[in-house]
A = this chain, B = another copy of it.
């Protein structure tokens, strides 16, 4: 499933086997319609286009942290993509002609496998720990490590560009 493609490079030392500089704790889980990797939308735009809602369920001790989140129209969900290899430092995405560094890609295979999802908040039930979302591009059961309110003043750069490379 994660076979190496032409031009890809692995690190000499695997971050998964390195001593940690810090530890993360799971605060909850994604609930989404996606149970198989091949069905999971590849990005948030594709996720929204499915029209399928999703949710994050926050574990009991962390639920007071949701207080006031209803004021935000959009939230940033940080997930932990714990099933992905962490040592593939140069990658060639399927259909790409060129290999690129992992930090130039949004691949789930990263030295620190943090996924970032900007999503519309549709409901909030703090007692149940349920954060209703318009959609999400993450597998059902994916661990969640943080939620942040999205602030357009600092997070929205509508004119940001990514130049096309050879691919």
With an 8 A cutoff between CB atoms, is A21 at the interface? yes
Q: Is A5 part of the binding interface, using a Cβ–Cβ cutoff of 8 Å?
A: no
- Interchain CB contact (< 8 A) of A71 among B11, B90, B104: B104
Report if A89-B110 is in contact (Cβ < 8 Å); known contacts: A15-B25, A148-B103, A152-B157. Answer: no
Q: Mark A37-63, 1 if CB is under 8 A from B, else 0.
A: 000000111000000000000100110
Task: Give 1 or 0 for each of A145-167: 1 = CB within 8 Å of chain B CB.
Answer: 11111111111111111111100
A161 in complex: contacting residue of B65, B90, B111, B152, CB < 8 Å: B152
The answer to whether A118 has its CB under 8 Å from any CB of chain B is: yes
Residue A114 is within 8 A (CB to CB) of chain B in the complex: yes
Interface presence of A73 (CB below 8 A): yes
Interface string of A81-96 (1 = CB under 8 A from B): 0100000011000000
- Not counting A21-B26, A65-B111, a sample of 10 additional A-B residue pairs whose C-beta atoms are within 8 angstroms of each other reads A11-B61, A13-B61, A18-B25, A22-B23, A58-B103, A65-B104, A71-B165, A103-B146, A116-B116, A149-B162
